[in-house]
Structure 1
Amino acid sequence: MVGAAKKKCKVCEEADSKYKCPACLIPYCSLGCFKKHKEIPCVKEAVPAEQKFAPKPHVERPYFVDEPSIVLQQSQLESIASSSEVIDALKNEELQKLICKIENSADIESEFDKAMEADAFRLFTDKVGNTLFCL
């Protein structure tokens, strides 16, 4: 089996690197090179806000509807998805966290009830409801 190719230290450009800077991931070979690298501040690449709370892959779950008339039609879903008020509300990090907690919960109904105690979530559900009533 062939081993992985060794990377050169990006500080001294001589030795093989053994480490990576925790901030910028530049490869370096020794404490001396690390200290020299840190003489000029480096920064870790920022993660865009939309990726911080990226949803986990969707898992199909069985769902049960007691009253079929409460299921939204495709046109209603499209109206919600295109509502500027709903889109703006979804930029709220607190709301994003609450939605992720609901989505990833083993007990969705209980987590939904907890989320309804938060102002951000209640305002969001009001905006979704208003969008539906304006149709």
Structure 2
Amino acid sequence: MGPRVCQVCNEAQSKYKCPSCRAPYCSVPCFKKHKETPCVSPLPSEENPKSTCVLPVQSEETSSSFSSAAAPESLVERPITVTEPSAVLERHQLEAIASSSELRDALKDKSLQKLIGSIDCSTDAENELDKAMEVEVFRLLTDKILSAINP
């Protein structure tokens, strides 16, 4: 694949891609212009079978720290709804998860990363989560998370 032309100005060679829709653009002004109109993430479909959920591979350096830059991009948008307010984690619980070396080590497992990615990219995440709970490595991860938030 050769160089692509910016889809905003249609003049310059693109250097970047929109994190949401993957449209190529060449500069910050073009990106700002692109964002004036809401864009959507491409979803795999029969019309576009090559479109898939893309999960960046993390290196040893990035897998040891939690940051939004290292987080996989989900191409499936879901509304955030809370049916049980008591199920929302408190800040100290989130910090306990983020600071757990045991959890960081567990998340280095490539099969676990793939499993989490399949849940995140699924249009039926709840069903995928149910299937994941049948996999031992995923159950162990959930046990470690529960131990971190309920010491």
TM-score range, shorter chain: 0.5 to 0.7
**One-letter code aligned to 1:129:** L
Shift of 1:49: 5.5
Contact 2:103–2:145 at 8 Å: present in 1 too?
Answer: yes
Give distance in 2, aligned partners of 1:89 and 1:130: 14
Structure 2 equivalent of residue 101 of structure 1: 118
User: How far did 1:61 drift?
Assistant: 2.1
Q: Which runs of 5+ in 1 are unaligned?
A: 5-47
Give the structure 2 partner of residue 77 of structure 1.
Answer: 94
CA RMSD of aligned residues (A): 2.3
The aligned counterpart of 2:146 is 129
Work out which of the residue numbers 54, 58, 65 in structure 2 matches 1:50.
Answer: 58
Partner of 1:112, secondary structure, is helix
Evaluate the alpha carbon distance shift between residue 58 and residue 106 of structure 1 in structure 2; reply closer, same or farther with a 3 A threshold: closer
Give the Å deviation of 1:56: 2.9
Separation of aligned partners in 1, 2:137 and 2:109: 8
CA–CA distance in 1 between the matches of 2:148 and 2:85? Answer: 20
TM value normalised by structure 2: 0.51
Quote how far apart the aligned CAs of 1:121 are: 0.2
**Residue 64 (1) aligns with residue 81 (2):** yes
Larger Rg: 1 or 2? 1
CA distance 1:94–1:87, change in 2 (3 Å): same
Match of 1:112 in 2: 129
Report the identity percentage: 55
Separation in structure 2 between the aligned mates of residue 132 and residue 87 of structure 1, nearest angstrom: 15
User: Any stretches of 5+ residues in structure 2 without a counterpart?
Assistant: 4-55, 60-70
**Shift in CA distance, 118/57, structure 1 to aligned 2, threshold 3 Å:** closer
User: 1:64 Cα shift?
Assistant: 2.0
TM-score (norm 1): 0.57
Q: CA deviation at 1:110?
A: 0.3
| Letter aligned with residue 71 of structure 1 | V
**Partners of 1:92 and 1:120 in 2: CA distance:** 9
